[in-house]
Amino acid sequence: MAFVRLLVPLCVVAMLAGCASQERGSEVGEVGFNPRYERELAAQRAAEHYYDYTAPKAGATIRSNPAGALIEWYNDEGIWVSIGNTPTNDIVIEATGKPELFRVSAPGFLPQIRWVAVTPSSEAAVVDFELEPELPSDRYFLGD
């Protein structure tokens, strides 16, 4: 029994000494600090700040025949975002020459997709979409 009383405190001291010898790379308050994530976050914030406050902007008006067609914009995440219906008021787009992808669709008509780009020296862009009617369902050819 005396041996166990002597052995238990020695084990506890050995375990504590082993834990104390490990180096910690972070300071107090930096739990979970990831320098790579922080650099990426800072770069994203800088890009957003540039777009919001520095990049030139211009307006674009999108019209279609027939009027009332749905307008969608293809964002950077690869998702079509609904903007509204034609004809639009000015849509604010970046005027750096970077093309933006727009899709216009209406029931009973084939959708159209078009790139729209505006440069800083140009005025507002007016984009017209002429939608073509779909074939009636009785005119489809389903064969082998």
In percent, how much of the chain has pLDDT > 90?
17
pLDDT digits (tens, 9 = 90+) for 44-102: 888 888 877 887 888 788 888 888 999 998 988 888 988 888 887 777 777 878 888 99
What is the CATH topology of the domain spanning 57-131? Immunoglobulin-like (2.60.40)
pLDDT at 109: 93
Around Cβ 130, how many Cβ atoms within 10 Å?
A: 11
Give the three-class secondary structure for 41.
helix
**pLDDT confidence band for 104 (50 / 70 / 90):** very high
Phi, psi of 116, rounded to the nearest 5 degrees: -130, 125
